[in-house]
Amino acid sequence: MGRRKARARGVGGFGALICVLLALLCAVWIAHDLLVARRPLDVWWLWAGEPVRAAGSAVWATTLLDPVLGLACLLAAVAVLRRSPAAPCALTAVALATVLFRAPQLGSLTTDTLSGLEPGLKEWALVTSGVGLVASVLLLIAASAGRGGADQRPGRLRFVPATLAALLLGASGLALAGWQAYWLRELGRAPYWDSVIGDAGAFRSLLQPPENWYLLSLALLALVAAAGLAGRRASARPLGMLAAALLLAHGLAALAAGQHAGLLGRFHALATRSQLDTVTVAFAAVAGLVALLALALAGGRNGPRGPADGPGRPDYAPPPPSDLPPGW
């Protein structure tokens, strides 16, 4: 038993190291964009979706996903180092998000349409995506080993905050999925599928997933987290917090871009579709914030491993024969 726990701690430490590596890659690419920006604020407007030009002939590399994923990786590493019962679930959440948001670049970065880039820049971006996918597999292995060596199992989440977060994440995921169904009907199956797998000629950043792929992935994360939280499963809490943070960042960035373009000031004059889109991103921002706060308060009491979790000593055992009272 002790040997298994020691092996699990070693694998967990390896998982923390991988998380730090992924966070470091995000930080390096963010530093690259800050260096090529005419003003540091241009990087924010790039993340918000504004068409901002980099200095000279340089190209952008990051999106809003990079700071959010980088922070999530650091928090997962901290959870592992603190031997939190939620650490394996945090590693799993980071791995799933990394797979979803890094996989498209393996296709878009290998096309011949991306030309005129700085020497080696496309190759390094491709390496980053490949490392992210390999690291995700290793994180899933580390998470599995961490579950096997844990001393405690996370208790069930508190009813009210877990239910609130499930409702908000589920509603946000359904709203995003509804917009994808709308675009599928408007564009047709083939053009819509092209927008999902990506058009290399329409990219803003090297590490940017296709817009509809990103929204579909965000909807999927929110719905999966909502399903787990509806059952008050503590294992769904890290994924729920990550999905809530992504929804909050997506909504705030879209609202900031709309305000910068003057759209929010003339909301009533917008077309109905634009109004609904604005309402959707505003709801995503509010839902993400409230769900994040609710999940921060939803933690249940951790319980020791019982017979269902593996061999262990029962909570109660009768006294040994030598200690029995007279006349027993």
On the CB side of 28, CA atoms within 13 Å amount to: 11
Phi, psi of 205 (to 5 degrees): -135, 150
Mean pLDDT of 235-263: 94
Say which residues have a Cβ less than 8 Å from residue 276's Cβ, sequence separation at least 6. Answer: none
**Domain-wise residue ranges, the chain:** 2-301
Euclidean distance between CA atoms 286 and 317, whole angstroms: 51
Give, in order, the Cα–Cα distances in Å from 3 to each of 18, 174, 273, 285: 23, 45, 60, 46
- 3-state SS, residue 83: coil
Average of per-residue pLDDT values in the chain: 85
pLDDT tens readout for residues 14-68? 889 999 999 999 999 999 999 999 899 999 999 998 888 888 778 899 999 999 9
Mean pLDDT of 247-264: 93
pTM: 0.86
**CB neighbours (10 Å) of residue 323?**
8
Closest CA to 61 of 34, 86, 40, 82: 34
Say which residues have a Cβ less than 8 Å from residue 73's Cβ, sequence separation at least 6. Answer: 19, 20, 22, 23, 26, 94
Per-residue confidence band for 145, with pLDDT thresholds at 50, 70 and 90:
confident
- Determine the number of helices (DSSP H) and then strands (DSSP E) in the chain: 11, 2
Q: Do 101 and 208 form a contact (C-beta atoms < 8 A)?
A: no
Residue bearing the bigger pLDDT, 263 or 202:
263
**CB neighbours (10 Å) of residue 147?**
18
Question: What is residue 313's predicted lDDT score, i.e. its pLDDT?
Answer: 45
Per-residue confidence band for 150, with pLDDT thresholds at 50, 70 and 90:
low
Q: At which residue do the structure tokens 């905050």 appear?
A: 161
How does DSSP assign 116-185, residue by residue?
SPPTTHHHHHHHHHHHHHHHHHHHHHHHHHHHHT-SEE--PPPHHHHHHHHHHHHHHHHHHHHHHHHHHH
pLDDT tens readout for residues 75-115? 999 999 998 888 999 999 999 999 999 998 887 777 655 55
